[in-house]
Amino acid sequence: MAELTSRRTAGLPCTCAGRWSRTNGRIRMFEPLSAAPMRTLVRDALGAVLDTDASTVPSSLMYTAGSGHRAVLYADTTVVRAVPGMGKTFWARTLTDSQRRSVASREFQMPRLERTAAVVAFGSEPDPVQVGPDELAALVAEGAAPVMVWTAVALTALGVTEMTVLPGWGERIAWLVRNPGALERSVAALDSAARSVNGDLVVVFDSLDRLHPDRTRADGLASGILQFAHDLAQLRTRVHAKVFIRPDMWASALPFLTWAARRSLRPVDLSWSAARGLHWDSASLYGLLFHLLGNHGSAEAATFRAMTPTWREAPDGRFAAPEALCSDVKAQEAAFSLIADPYMGANARKGYSYWWLPVALQDALGQVTPRSFLATLHQAAIHADGRLGHGRALHHEDIRRGWQEGVRTRARELDGTLPWVREALAALSGEQVPIEEERVFALWEQAGLLSRLRDRGGCAGASVTTGPRSVASHPALLDELIELGIATRRTRNGLIDLPDPYRFLHGLGRRSGVKRVAHAA
């Protein structure tokens, strides 16, 4: 069989581009599914995973080939930084779920994970062992030091008897104050138990954007968690803290920490795309796509795997894709061209679909969340169901229409942790970007944005969510949007721009383009 690169297969009909191999031995691909069964597979496989969340996704759908994801599970990784939607809670749950830990242990080749136990000190789901947001607010108001609060919380989660027998958090904190060295003594006993099985014990802190509605107090509480993580690491035992946190909260908490803690904490960044020269490498996103297609429980999935017969089946029934489909950009682009139109138009001048899709979903920091990526392709498959006579499962116009659902999915992810962002951008609806800072500030002033955010205190409905870092001035609010990747400031003229997903969501046009009609986001 002749060697074909992705560019050479791109212009061929789907039925002609299917039988190919790469002579360097990295991947061999055979006859693909025809358009209708492939469309069914994309729709059903992605729909199944989009119907789950971090707690309900089955271990069979875990993807472990993501760039940098292995480092999240290292015992000495203290801090995991990621923007909302990147999978912080997923990996936090992986530590506490034995089935997922087993999969990660095998596929990351980290056997000690099998002998790791984890407890949640703070997370997204209510737990009687955890301290609630209302209790946290009361403890802070009473003057409790954040590091003492979290020491009490962690030791209670770890089942230390001196903590669990006391009736409330105030009593537990008071006991710690009266008993210096309690942390060292308690951890020493836990360390002995972990060493006896050559394992580790991990205390997990997640969902820190629900610590407190006031951002200053939330940053102080987050700094207490990080200080506790440092104190625990200094004991050099098999008991570790792992803190999942947004990058902006990490930056805000650092000034509260001791210099020693700032230097000793070991952070890693959880991401699904990375800058590679002039391009953004999104191989992890496409690797996730192929993994989900290959692990769907259908006949179409079995045929999809047969296209690249080097898939490996694990004892638990999971299928691991060929390495090239996980990391080789050219192999991925060629495989994607068997599913979707290779171009976003009649020819390459409109862009290659493989590259266009993740770039169109990026925020100003170049980040794409997996759920928004998958939602785009799932919706594209739904739109394509009514398209007859097309040689591939996904037409480029269906991908463009699916992009709108991907953008809405990203908005829902942000609304869960940063609801104030929607209000800030909604006030700009109907404008065109790039836009002058003064115009942004005038629109915010007209909408009474700062006073509304102050009155709300960062709360969205009945759930506690951390508000913006500062509601003292419009420039401070704009700087935070830029730091979050929601907006960007052009270096040449200082004008404010928005990435296309946020511009579309909030009804902003682009200068030199067609003026958009304002609409509710």
Following DSSP, what letter does each residue of 201-263 receive, concatenated?
A: EEEEE--GGGS-SSHHHHHHHHHHHHHHHHHHHHT-SSEEEEEEE-HHHHHHHGGGS-HHHHH
Quick check: 396 and 343 in contact, CB under 8 A? yes
Residue 333 has what pLDDT?
Answer: 95
Q: Specify the residue for token string 């039988």.
A: 19
Question: If DSSP codes are grouped into helix, strand and coil, which group holds residue 268?
Answer: strand
Residue 4 has what pLDDT?
Answer: 34
Element (H, E) at 286: helix 283-294
Q: Write down the domain spans for the chain.
A: 6-50+280-414, 68-269, 418-510
Strand order in the sheet with 79-81: 116-122, 200-205, 239-245, 79-81, 267-269
Residue 137, both tokens: 């607010």
> pTM for this structure?
0.90
Residue 23 has pLDDT above 50, yes or no: no
Residue 496, both tokens: 């404010």
Which of 280, 502, 281, 285 has its CA nearest to residue 373?
A: 285
Distance of CA 109 to the CA centre of its chain: 23
Residue 94 has what pLDDT?
Answer: 94
pLDDT in tens, 286-316: 999 999 999 999 999 999 999 888 999 988 8
* Residue 10 pLDDT class (50, 70, 90 cuts): very low
CA distances from 391 to 35, 287, 322, 343, 352 (A): 6, 23, 25, 13, 17
192, exposed or middle or buried, with CB in 10 Å at 0-12, 13-18, 19+? exposed
Residue 334, both tokens: 């060629």
* Segment among 41-45, 266-270, 465-469 with least mean pLDDT: 465-469
Residue 515 has pLDDT above 80, yes or no: no
Which is more confidently placed, 386 or 301? 301
Residue 120, both tokens: 């949640």
CA 472 to CA 470: how far, in whole Å?
A: 5
* Residue 95 pLDDT class (50, 70, 90 cuts): very high
CA 122 to CA 275: how far, in whole Å?
A: 33
CA 83 to CA 363: how far, in whole Å?
A: 11
Contacts of 118 by beta carbon, 8 Å cutoff, 6+ apart: 95, 96, 201, 202, 203, 204
Q: How many CB atoms lie within 10 A of CB 31?
A: 12
Residue 15 has pLDDT above 80, yes or no: no
Residue 68 has pLDDT above 80, yes or no: no
Residue 77, both tokens: 């990784």
Which of 51, 84, 94 has its CA nearest to residue 207?
A: 84
Distance of CA 422 to the CA centre of its chain: 19
Residue 226 has what pLDDT?
Answer: 97
Residue 416 has what pLDDT?
Answer: 86
Residue 463 has what pLDDT?
Answer: 57
Residue 480 has pLDDT above 80, yes or no: yes
Residue 227 has pLDDT above 50, yes or no: yes
Q: How many CB atoms lie within 10 A of CB 244?
A: 25
Query: What is the SS3 assignment for 295-339?
Result: CCCCHHHHHHHHHCCCCEECCCCCEECCHHHHHCHHHHHHHHCCC
Q: Kindly report the CATH number that applies to the domain delimited by 68-269.
A: 3.40.50
Rg over alpha carbons for the chain, rounded to the nearest Å, is: 25
Q: What is the mean pLDDT of residues 318-342?
A: 94
Residue 245, both tokens: 């946190």
Residue 213, both tokens: 């509605």
Torsion 228-233-239-242 (CA) sign: positive
CA 201 to CA 117: how far, in whole Å?
A: 5
* Residue 520 pLDDT class (50, 70, 90 cuts): very low
Query: What is the SS3 assignment for 442-498?
Result: HHHHHHCHHHHHHHHCCCECCECCCCCCCCCCHHHHHHHHHHCCCCEECCCCCCEEC
Quick check: 164 and 156 in contact, CB under 8 A? yes
Residue 125 has what pLDDT?
Answer: 78
Residue 67 has what pLDDT?
Answer: 57
Question: If DSSP codes are grouped into helix, strand and coil, which group holds residue 15?
Answer: coil
Residue 27 has pLDDT above 80, yes or no: no
Element (H, E) at 116: strand 116-122
Residue 279 has what pLDDT?
Answer: 67
pLDDT in tens, 127-174: 777 888 788 888 988 989 999 999 999 999 999 999 999 999 999 999
Backbone angles phi, psi at 486, to 5 degrees: -80, -30
Residue 324 has what pLDDT?
Answer: 92
Q: 197-221 burial string, b = 16+ CB within 10 Å, else e?
A: eebbbbbbbbbbbbbbbbbebbbbb
Average pLDDT score, the chain: 88
Q: What is the mean pLDDT of residues 423-440?
A: 96
Residue 191 has what pLDDT?
Answer: 96
Residue 3 has what pLDDT?
Answer: 33
Residue 141 has what pLDDT?
Answer: 85
pLDDT in tens, 190-214: 999 999 999 999 999 999 988 888 8
Q: What is the mean pLDDT of residues 383-412?
A: 93
Query: What is the SS3 assignment for 336-371?
Result: HCCCECCECCCCHHHCEHHHHHHHHHCCCCCCCCHH
* Residue 467 pLDDT class (50, 70, 90 cuts): confident
